[in-house]
Amino acid sequence: MTQHIVVHMEIFREGDLYVGLCPDLEVSSFGETIEATKRSLREALEAFIEECEAMGTLEEILEEAGFFRQDGTWLPRQPVSTELVAIG
């Protein structure tokens, strides 16, 4: 991987497993522990990015996902506000 890309990583517990999600690129994976899930998600992200690079679509995908380049690093968009809202 030749690009330096920063992404958000979220880990959720689902039953006996942990699910790792990168909402920035809509990539997910799972594992039996939090650390195993982080490793699995990192591997899934690296494979996704390598495939995009091979197809020549990485820059387009990152821009469409809201990433911007700063000092040679791709950064995800940053919300100006986040909150949990109950509907209904």
Q: Phi/psi at 67 (nearest 5 deg)?
A: -70, 155
What CA–CA distance (Å, rounded) separates 10 from 7? 10
Q: State residue 72's pLDDT score.
A: 93
- Is the CB of residue 18 less than 8 Å from the CB of residue 31? yes
For 20-49, what is each residue's pLDDT tens digit?
Answer: 999 999 999 999 999 999 999 999 999 999
Mean pLDDT of the residues in the chain: 96
Question: Model-level pTM?
Answer: 0.88
Confidence of residue 88 (pLDDT cuts 50, 70, 90): very high
